[in-house]
Structure 1
């Protein structure tokens, strides 16, 4: 079945949103707030933490402002996604991943007053202290992977554009000297 650009985009948004909210529902129903369950000691555990900020708790305790920003960014992505994404099926899915992640975290902000984070990777030092990466969730992963893929596309398209510009410039220089 051939899907349209809008169908691919919507499918990615809905897939990320469903996976994100379903995984958070499991955490909410099975792990008390601020509790944790060690899966691999010294490396990975499920946690139930709330984040009122953005990535790495930047802008902590600004949940209302971040909700408004998320809604504005979501609207901008929906209206201008064709300008930001490559005109390919991968571009549709990638932009859908980003928007699905933003919507997933916005749902949390509105429903819980914070984003539910639950995936926590860490290393245990000899002293017993943990050196950890900030806890995250499915929505965060979708946003990061989507943005990374968009940047990768942008860099590769930029290189092609630079080659094309040099070709045109070289032709223009030959025409000017001839």
Structure 2
């Protein structure tokens, strides 16, 4: 796998992620939803100011810090991916790394620019792209657009379940986006197949094996 393939995957995921977010922002108001498949898949528009799946970190200062961290991570990520390609790591690892990199870049774009290029989605108002009055926020203060919602199960848990018995429960509750999904798929796949992806690079070379053998002898 070549570096241009990594760049292609990143651009492809970014294009899909940003196209869907742009459509959501310019066609839906906050909390509006479309049911795609009854009982398990909906398009539900929300925004969050923090990390993936709506997590938050440290208020306004935390928002700036998180955005800057994403920026550094994306830059370092491209450099590191180039190194992995040069060292001929497995195609699976490179694809997963590309997904993680694309996801980080996708949410970074929201955080850096969406506050500048969109106004607020208030009430039943749909946001406008490049509004005459300016955006809802400043540079680095954009909110991440989420829309994918999979409430596969909704109901009250059996009372015999410890701690949560009898509580109303939704699985899967978080609303997320394409970028979040790309990061999750990349990370989970690496964790599941790390031995296959990294195995041959963790093995000592023939020369190193000979040195180890001589040392033992």
What TM-score do you get using the length of structure 2 for normalisation? 0.65
Structure 1 position 56, deviation (Å): 3.4
Please give the residue correspondences for 1:9-158 in structure 2 after superposition, counting only pairs within 5 Å.
9-60=6-57, 61=59, 62-83=62-83, 87-110=89-112, 111-112=114-115, 113-122=142-151, 123-125=153-155, 131-133=170-172, 134-157=174-197
Deviations along 1:59-115, one digit per CA (max 9) or x if unpaired, are: 344322211010010111111224567624444433222211111111111214211
Runs (4+) off by over 4 Å? 82-86, 157-165
Structure 1 position 25, deviation (Å): 1.6
Pairwise CA RMSD of aligned residues?
3.1
Q: Distance in 2 between matches of 1:162 and 1:23?
A: 40
Tell me if the contact between 2:54 and 2:175 (Cα under 8 Å) persists in the aligned partners.
no
Tell me if the contact between 1:102 and 1:139 (Cα under 8 Å) persists in the aligned partners.
yes
Deviations along 1:30-61, one digit per CA (max 9) or x if unpaired, are: 22112222233332211111111113333344
Structure-2 change in CA distance of 1:83 and 1:148 (3 Å): farther
What TM-score do you get using the length of structure 1 for normalisation? 0.77
Select the structure that is richer in helix: 1
Structure 1 position 121, deviation (Å): 0.8
Q: Which runs of 5+ in 2 are unaligned?
A: 116-141, 158-167
